[in-house]
Amino acid sequence: MVTDKKFVNFAAKMSSVRFRDARDTADTCPQMARRRRPAPALTLERSLLNTHGEMIALLRGILVEKRPGQLIIDAGGVGYDVHIPLSTFAAIGALHSEVTLLIHTHVREDQISLFGFLTAREKHLFELLLSVSGVGPALALRILSGLSVDEIIPAVRRGDVAALTRINGVGRKTAERVIVELKDKLAAAETAAEEPRVGRSQLEEDLHSALLNLNYDRREVDRTVEKLRRDGMPAAFDAALRAALQQLSPSSSTSARRAAGE
């Protein structure tokens, strides 16, 4: 029993010595104190960055849940909650099939949301709508759900306030702002798009735009789309995109070249 009591006393002394040493080191050596601070936790915003420090632009995975306005996609064991317009819901594949979506990542102070689109035109128009004062992502998605891209663009060109106000949640003032602020932007976007198309179909246009958004070289993209057309373009966008990515070399992406230090 004496031996046990001595051991307990010795352990208590050593515990107090260790505590004093740690405290004294922090007081006398601020550098050591700073080292002891835990590393900051990985934030949600940083977790959504890819290896090049860019936000998610494309998501490919298994469709595990779908409802009007929302999908859940399993990509690499992680379930991503993606907000979508009704047009994407109507055209997306069946449950448990592999799907590919173009993604707009919307970052706020208290929330990060993913918005998915099957075509580059829808994604581009969604982002143009976000540039309109007073239009947030929920309203932009509602506009894209109420009218198709082929209906919204002519309505903006004509200044058709009545067509836009037929969308649930869009009042007259909002419709007028959309028309005033988007008319010039749509004209500029169309001018930039007036490059040789060689009779491309809408699917080929969407595929071309999606690959450019992924930072692939324009000449490589032109050759890849043309080759797919000759060999037989898949009917679905996600299948066409998958086929194009298999043909494109990583070195043709500007992001890949930056990562390689070129």
Reduce the DSSP state of residue 155 to 3 states and report it.
helix
Nearest to residue 115, comparing CAs of 162, 65, 56, 75?
A: 56
Question: What was the pLDDT predicted at 119?
Answer: 86
Question: Residue 199 has which token pair?
Answer: 């009779």
Residue pair 156/186 in contact by the 8 Å Cβ criterion: yes
Identify any residues that bridge with 107 across adjacent strands, giving them in sequence order.
112
Q: In the CATH scheme, what architecture does the domain 120-193 have?
A: Orthogonal Bundle (1.10)
Question: What was the pLDDT predicted at 190?
Answer: 54
- How far apart are alpha carbons 249 and 138 in whole angstroms? 37
Question: Residue 154 has which token pair?
Answer: 């002519």
Q: How much is the CA Rg of the chain, to the nearest whole Å?
A: 27
Q: For 47-117, CATH number?
A: 2.40.50.140
Residue pair 248/216 in contact by the 8 Å Cβ criterion: yes
* Domain boundaries along the sequence of the chain: 2-35, 47-117, 120-193, 202-259
Question: What was the pLDDT predicted at 53?
Answer: 40
Identify any residues that bridge with 154 across adjacent strands, giving them in sequence order.
none
Question: What was the pLDDT predicted at 6?
Answer: 52
End-to-end C-alpha distance for the chain, whole angstroms: 73
Which sign, positive or negative, has the C-alpha torsion 41, 45, 47, 50?
Answer: negative
- How far apart are alpha carbons 137 and 126 in whole angstroms? 8
Identify any residues that bridge with 117 across adjacent strands, giving them in sequence order.
102
- How far apart are alpha carbons 17 and 100 in whole angstroms? 60
User: Which stretches within 194-217 are classed as H helix?
Assistant: 202-213
| Entry pTM | 0.57
> pLDDT tens string for the chain (262 positions)?
444 555 445 444 444 444 344 444 444 444 444 444 443 333 444 444 443 345 788 888 999 999 999 999 999 899 999 999 998 998 888 899 989 899 999 888 788 899 999 888 899 999 999 999 999 999 999 999 999 888 999 999 999 999 999 999 999 999 999 999 998 888 765 544 444 444 567 788 788 888 877 878 778 888 888 888 878 888 888 888 888 888 886 655 544 444 334 4
